[in-house]
């Protein structure tokens, strides 16, 4: 096993995450796709993901998608650290020499697969443990990139050399990192109804802040796409430092990964 992809899942059905697109988007690049799913999910995420794995594995005629049931600590509200904890759990199930961590609204482009494979194959001779890629953050429209939220992150690394940290957006560990001329395509703010986007933000907030500071689902308004320094769904009057900013945007004129063509159209 050379390269494993891993991800974590919770309430992905009710929040309309493009799970199947993400998994299929790694076929041809990775040798296995490891997905851990929270048994405490409030929807049928466990059954949905297991059925999806059976269907994809049947098509490929080998066990490509591997599903593991885990239990999240829903009381952990320390800086979103539960996401990193669960991400590191997913790493423990991976068998590959290298690990690629993708979130369930992200994808790599198939045009970069051979380039990435060559870089991985040369990692030993080049004394490299990890690779950074800029995450392109699409915002409101698949042809618009929010530049101030598009930053380099390290999600591809030699197993055992790095761990997920913070809220799992990035990793820490070995500093033998090489920058790749390829991207992670991030679709959390496109493709679904803005009311679903607000629910996604609230679901994340529950692992950062106590419930009494957060709005309830029936109080949410559709996501408004105003440029702010960060998203949150707190009650009015709760000061968490969120403010409107002059967001920086650019036009995306290239092709999206095939699995995300038509997403949200």
Q: What is the pLDDT of residues 205-227, one digit of tens each?
A: 999 999 999 999 999 999 999 99
Rg, Å, the chain Cα set = 18
> Residue 180: inside a domain, yes or no?
no
Residue 24 to residue 229: CA distance in whole angstroms: 32
Range of the domain at 26: 3-131+154-173
Answer yes or no: is pLDDT of 237 > 90.
no
pTM: 0.96
Q: Is residue 83 part of a domain?
A: yes
Backbone angles phi, psi at 149, to 5 degrees: -105, 0
Kindly report, residue by residue over 65-111, the tens digit of the pLDDT: 999 999 999 999 999 999 999 999 999 999 999 999 999 999 999 99
State the Cα–Cα distance between residues 73 and 130, nearest whole angstrom.
29
Q: Which tokens sit at 156?
A: 């591809």
Domain membership flag for residue 200: no
Within a domain: 113: yes
Q: Does some domain include residue 138?
A: no
Q: Per the structure, how many domains does the chain have?
A: 1
Note whether residue 263 is domain-resident: no
Beta strand residue intervals within the chain, DSSP E: 3-9, 32-38, 65-70, 98-101, 106-108, 130-139, 141-146, 152-158, 162-165, 170-173, 177-189, 249-251
């Amino acid at each position: 096993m050379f390269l494993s992809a891993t991800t974590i899942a919770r309430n992905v059905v009710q929040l309309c995450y493009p799970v199947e697109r993400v998994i299929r988007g790694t076929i041809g690049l990775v040798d296995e796709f490891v997905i851990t799913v929270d048994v405490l999910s409030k929807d049928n995420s466990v059954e949905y993901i297991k059925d999806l794995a059976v269907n994809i594995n049947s098509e490929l005629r080998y066990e490509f998608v591997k599903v593991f049931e885990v239990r999240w600590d829903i009381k952990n509200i320390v800086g979103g650290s539960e996401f990193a904890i669960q991400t590191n759990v997913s790493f423990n199930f991976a068998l590959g020499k290298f690990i690629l961590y993708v979130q369930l609204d992200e994808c790599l482009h198939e045009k970069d697969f051979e380039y990435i494979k060559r870089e991985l194959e040369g990692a030993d001779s080049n004394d490299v443990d990890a690779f950074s890629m800029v995450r392109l953050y699409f915002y409101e429209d698949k042809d618009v990139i929010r530049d101030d939220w598009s930053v380099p992150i390290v999600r591809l690394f030699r197993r055992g050399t790095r761990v997920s940290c913070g809220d799992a957006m990035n990793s820490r560990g070995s500093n033998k990192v090489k920058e790749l001329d390829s991207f992670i395509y991030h679709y959390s703010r496109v493709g679904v109804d803005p009311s679903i986007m607000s629910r996604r933000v609230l679901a994340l907030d529950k692992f950062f802040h106590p419930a009494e500071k957060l709005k309830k689902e029936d109080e949410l308004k559709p996501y408004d796409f105003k440029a702010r320094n960060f998203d949150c769904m707190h009650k009015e009057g709760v000061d968490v430092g969120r403010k409107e900013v002059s967001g920086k945007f650019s036009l995306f004129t290239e092709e999206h990964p095939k699995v995300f063509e038509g997403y949200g159209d």
